[in-house]
Structure 1
């Protein structure tokens, strides 16, 4: 291709890229900045072609200068990733939870109502626990929270494990539950409803049984701390799944595929926040909940403070204009 034809074909792109560079270099929010990485890659391709075809040094130098300036801006804006992540944690995630309050409310009712309801039923009718949980697993649960045992919240096989090993185990276990609850929402939301109720029933069965046999003190003091983040995360994962399912059930005027794509954007952001909650929960469970020397009263106070922190964070964080954007 002749140089003149090459220039005529791409001149408008280069001029637009130059204008965008000017705006970015003066710290102004530029329209089209979201496409900057793509435009930068195209400019690099044009420079490579110009060199390969032996075009004039004037054209090559001009493109080279734009590539160098673009490189500086590209990595300058990539360096803002940490700030964007922090802004999401401090403001974006709780705002999103409030924005999706209908799904959060439904998921929370399904999960916490089934948990509390079945815990009460098992406490009143103890044999119910065996209808949901095998006897062997019930026995394992009892050994984990036996007040006279030398370990707390761990099976006998894992009692000697290092805290960091258990930290990794808790992360993988909890993420598995959350992802299952979220992804099953693609079954028109029915999967998320099923797993929210099932997980609520299982946790409630364990809570009711251990309370009935007199292990309530060790059990509740163990779970109250990390439960603030872990149980909230399960409910939020269910909310993200319900949003996917609702997009398939009621896409409005959009094709189902397009409605699902739009819903998935916010659902995935919700899951990012869920992962953060699960990471915090796993850390607390491994390094605080499993400790045996703090008194039950101390653990209850810390647990209550953590629940209050989660509620205040989700309800109030990011409401003010000075919150990070």
Structure 2
């Protein structure tokens, strides 16, 4: 079905649902009309899924996404306690939002992982290149942290396991700071997010290439593979959210830049909620599992592979529902 026909056929439904949402948000809804709200909401979600599947333009999909999100908020505000709303977001809302923003996610992933892999290979092939990216003192610290003889891997100073909770807090603050920086600088027409995706990718790639080249690869990779599933994915999603902000300013479409930015911020902030959840999980794994030196590398690789598969499956399949053809 052509987009113009789809839009003309369903425009009355969208206007009706928008008016219903306005009334609910102002507390002026007719109780009798609330009985039809759930069916209206499901119809909007179904039409949004069809529009995305058929590749209709963002001028059609973005307003539908906004209606669906507003409907979701009203539905669970009136029907579910806060705990259920959070559970619904974690189990379905967040992965659905990631899939809905797949273009920004793919762009951020290519920038980050492309620069990481590219720099890693370059430094592995040309070892002295690492010093053009990272200060020699920091390189020396990295070598100490990932020395196979270290009792606690990934830490510049030996620590007792009882201090893991301190590292947990440090990892949370550090990682959330990086993610927020990558997201918020998207307000610079997306250029800030582009920069930090590339910068972080180049830095991590340089470290990975150098440590692999000097024979510390097994220590390094067995350390990062576990928490990296959540941490690296979170950086990509933060970058995607920032690129979404930037794109709303570069190409606002029929909206004013202010209105386009407001809509983009509402969607991207929900992505950031999920990013924070991922970073909390990553910090826990890094503090209490990754730094341990007693598990054999093969065990860490196995656990890491399971975690990567879990993250991919969650983002790709969680919250999916069957839709009938229209």
Q: TM-score range by the shorter chain?
A: 0.7 to 0.9
Shift of 1:320: 2.2
Aligned: 1:210 with 2:223: no
Partner of 1:101: 102
Partner of 1:309: 310
Give, in whole Å, the separation in 1 of the partners of 2:30 and 2:186: 41
Give, in whole Å, the separation in 1 of the partners of 2:28 and 2:196: 52
Shift of 1:295: 0.5
Gaps of 5+ in 2: 1-22, 40-76
Shift of 1:260: 0.2
Shift of 1:20: 5.3
Shift of 1:292: 1.1
Partner of 2:249: 248
- Relative to structure 1, is the Cα distance of residues 261 and 124 closer, same or farther in structure 2, using a 3 angstrom cutoff? same
Shift of 1:22: 8.0
Partner of 1:134: 135
- Aligned partners of 1:188 and 1:244 also within 8 Å: yes
Q: Deviations over 1:182-241 (max 9, x none)?
A: 000000000000000000000000000000000000000000000000000000000000
- Relative to structure 1, is the Cα distance of residues 30 and 303 closer, same or farther in structure 2, using a 3 angstrom cutoff? closer
Tell me, what secondary structure is at the counterpart of 1:153?
A: coil
Aligned: 1:299 with 2:308: no
- Relative to structure 1, is the Cα distance of residues 178 and 17 closer, same or farther in structure 2, using a 3 angstrom cutoff? closer
Partner of 1:151: 152
- Aligned partners of 1:20 and 1:30 also within 8 Å: no
Displacement over 6 Å in runs of 4+: 16-19, 21-24
Kindly report the root-mean-square deviation, in angstroms, between the aligned alpha carbons of the 2 structures.
Answer: 2.4
- Aligned partners of 2:226 and 2:300 also within 8 Å: yes
- Aligned partners of 2:190 and 2:245 also within 8 Å: yes
Shift of 1:154: 0.6
Give, in whole Å, the separation in 2 of the partners of 1:140 and 1:300: 24
Tell me, what secondary structure is at the counterpart of 1:156?
A: coil
- Relative to structure 1, is the Cα distance of residues 288 and 206 closer, same or farther in structure 2, using a 3 angstrom cutoff? same
Q: Deviations over 1:54-94 (max 9, x none)?
A: xxxxxxxxxxxxxxxxxxxxxx9586111111011011111
Tell me, what secondary structure is at the counterpart of 1:252?
A: coil
Aligned: 1:174 with 2:175: yes
- Relative to structure 1, is the Cα distance of residues 19 and 320 closer, same or farther in structure 2, using a 3 angstrom cutoff? closer
Give, in whole Å, the separation in 2 of the partners of 1:131 and 1:159: 34
Give, in whole Å, the separation in 2 of the partners of 1:284 and 1:263: 32
Partner of 1:53: none
Task: Describe how 1:285-296 pairs up with structure 2 within 5 A.
Answer: 285-296=286-297
Q: Deviations over 1:134-178 (max 9, x none)?
A: 011101100000001222111117677711111000000000000
- Relative to structure 1, is the Cα distance of residues 258 and 127 closer, same or farther in structure 2, using a 3 angstrom cutoff? same
- Relative to structure 1, is the Cα distance of residues 146 and 18 closer, same or farther in structure 2, using a 3 angstrom cutoff? closer
TM value normalised by structure 2 = 0.75
Partner of 2:187: 186
Task: Describe how 1:271-286 pairs up with structure 2 within 5 A.
Answer: 271-286=272-287
Bigger radius of gyration, 1 or 2? 1
Give, in whole Å, the separation in 1 of the partners of 2:136 and 2:254: 51
Partner of 2:55: none
TM value normalised by structure 1 = 0.76
